[in-house]
Structure 1
Amino acid sequence: MSKRAEGKKLAILATNGFEQIELTSPKDAIQNAGGQAFIVSPENGRIQGNNHRDLGDYFDVDTSLDDAKAEDYDALLIPGGLFSPDALRTNQAALDFTSAFFEQKKPVFAICHGPQVLISANLVNGRHVTSIESVQQDLKNAGAKVTDSPVVVDKGLVTSRKPDDLSQFNDKIVEEICEGKHDGQRQSVAA
């Protein structure tokens, strides 16, 4: 087992209604590579995942969003699901937390509906991205250059479409977190 991500810390921004496999699979990939993953949430205690439209398991929140600081982590993951990204995109603390990773030139990973948070934080204008089909038009409207590919990498921003793409997404997560800061990662200017 490779430990190439040893010492790296991944923040996973989620709240109730995240797509469970889109949190657990990348978390396992980072941990299997020797890194650590921490769930950051506006909720305290536990949050519940979803398995598509069915309720999933409960997961302990490691850090309250109110107490989380981007400088304490090496990268950020925003899992998808129908409900978590929708709640996070209207939470100013979540948008500020996400924006801080861009300002600090750290890798950011978003899958499925996760890019909705990036849209609301004005972080996709001019960026190459992908997402689940139902979010692709929203990304285009926000100025993103959308490709319907399993994974799209744009200078430290890594996006993916759906659970079927997790193997490729996880490989890129480990690769990008190991590479560290990306000078091309920046906060986009809203159109």
Structure 2
Amino acid sequence: MTNASQAAAFLRMQQLMSYSPVPSISTELLVTADGDLNRELNSFLFDPVTDSTLLIGKRIAICCTNGVEEVEILGAHRWLTEHGATVHIVSPRIGDFHPSLGLRFPPQCATHVLAIRLMENAGWLKIDRYTDEAKVEDYDAILLPGGCWNPDALRMDKHAVALVRAMYEAGKPTTAICHGQWVMVSARILKGKRATAVWNIQIDLENAGATVSDEPCVVDGNLITARFPFDLPRLVQALVKQLLPSKI
């Protein structure tokens, strides 16, 4: 390829990848907005810990992959850990892809997942265990955070889907927020259940056989679902209530 043709190809690639400011979710804006749920999130994230032993002995899996919503995973991980739980980030191995797909992953993806803020890249989070290693007997509860890209990729991993189904069938708190419910759809655990999700995928839950309620948090047996980052405190509260029914 000549220099001229290389330049033309590069120009065409630029034309196919338009630049624009990146839409994002700001944790700062979420916790300072004038809304009851925003104030709940502020307290959840920033109030001093009152009982650091509350969840001692409890093991919780946060199952996710690249594109996980930062405030949902960090908020849940921090609160649960600070209250005594052992929390693992459980993720698929990145694996290999056929060259025809044109996919490229940095080496860090072998050991970390990339968090996002809506469409903005955020930080890297270390994987504690891979989904092909995780077993239902290892955990007392599972949480599926959102971020649109994360669950859409996670639901393709047979080990993740099997883990979610096994946790649910074992009667352990099986929780999801925002787009995380897509994995529940693929695990086929929503039929006949009451649930909620971020507004634009509520129809997907209906199509999976769920009765959808537009509420911050919906509990149906050990199935716990929430809609949006500002609903995270209620999701975690419901999870803790099932782990510690005599205390909450």
TM-score, length of structure 2 as denominator length: 0.70
77, 81, 99: which one aligns with 1:27: 77
Aligned-partner residue type, residue 228 of structure 2:
K
Q: Which runs of 5+ in 1 are unaligned?
A: 181-191
Q: Distance in 2 between matches of 1:153 and 1:69?
A: 24
Number of equivalent positions = 180
**1:165 Cα shift?**
1.2
After TM superposition, the structure 1 = structure 2 runs for residues 23-172 of structure 1, keeping only pairs within 5 Å, are 23-43=73-93, 44-172=110-238
- When the two chains are superposed, the root-mean-square deviation of aligned CA atoms in Å is 1.3
Q: Distance in 1 between matches of 2:243 and 2:117?
A: 27
Could you tell me which residue of structure 2 aligns to residue 186 of structure 1?
none
Greater strand proportion: 1
Which structure ranks higher in relative contact order (CA pairs < 8 Å, sequence separation ≥ 6)?
1
Aligned-partner residue type, residue 74 of structure 2:
T
Q: Which runs of 5+ in 2 are unaligned?
A: 1-49, 94-109
**1:173 Cα shift?**
2.3
Q: Distance in 1 between matches of 2:118 and 2:228?
A: 11
Could you tell me which residue of structure 2 aligns to residue 16 of structure 1?
66
Deviates more, 1:58-67 or 1:35-44: 35-44
CA deviation vs aligned residue, 1:4-60 (integer Å, no higher than 9, x gap): 211000001000001111111111221122111100000331110001110011000
**1:108 Cα shift?**
0.7
Q: Is the 8 A contact 1:26 1:173 kept in 2?
A: no
Q: Distance in 2 between matches of 1:155 and 1:4?
A: 22
**1:166 Cα shift?**
1.6
Greater helix proportion: 2
Could you tell me which residue of structure 2 aligns to residue 5 of structure 1?
55
Q: Which runs of structure 1 show a deviation greater than 6 angstroms over 4 or more consecutive aligned residues?
A: none
Q: Distance in 2 between matches of 1:40 and 1:34?
A: 18
Q: Distance in 1 between matches of 2:175 and 2:77?
A: 12
CA deviation vs aligned residue, 1:114-153 (integer Å, no higher than 9, x gap): 0000001111001110000111001001110100000001
Q: Distance in 2 between matches of 1:57 and 1:23?
A: 11
Q: Is the 8 A contact 1:149 1:160 kept in 2?
A: yes
TM-score, length of structure 1 as denominator length: 0.90
Larger gyration radius, structure 1 or structure 2: 2
**1:101 Cα shift?**
0.2
